[in-house]
Amino acid sequence: MPTETCLHLDADVRQDAIKRLKSAKGHLEGVLRMLDDESVYCVDVLKQVKAVQGALSKVNEGVLRAHIRDHVATAALRGDSEAIVSELMEALKYQARV
């Protein structure tokens, strides 16, 4: 990518990611508190862990969607298609497998 071009995450996507990550942090802290309680039921822990994973997946999806929409789709206009395709291929390595 040309050195004069610096692409940033959309502000709305950034704010949504922050909100979701703070929620995930709260859920994760709750899981840790649950595990301190010897009487906690295993399935309850699993449910809360799944909630954390879901929040993280939503952040990942939102950031990837924004990257494709704002950077990949406009790469040809900027003349940096090859660099953006390489970045996208790298980013896809971090996507959760279903």
Domain of 81, in residue numbers: 11-92
pLDDT digits (tens, 9 = 90+) for 64-87: 889 888 888 888 888 888 888 888
pTM: 0.75
Q: In angstroms, how far is the first alpha carbon of the chain from the final one? A: 31
Q: What is the DSSP letter of 3?
A: T
Residue 25 in any domain: the answer is yes
Residue 4 in any domain: the answer is no
Q: How many CB atoms lie within 10 A of CB 24?
A: 19
Q: What percent of the chain has pLDDT over 70?
A: 91
Looking at this protein, which amino acid is placed at residue 70? D
* CATH number of the structural domain spanning residue 36: 1.20.58.1000
Domain count of the fold of the chain: 1
Q: How many CB atoms lie within 10 A of CB 49?
A: 14
| Sequence-distant (≥ 6) Cβ neighbours of residue 24 within 8 angstroms | 51, 52, 55, 56, 59
pLDDT digits (tens, 9 = 90+) for 39-64: 999 999 999 999 999 999 999 999 98
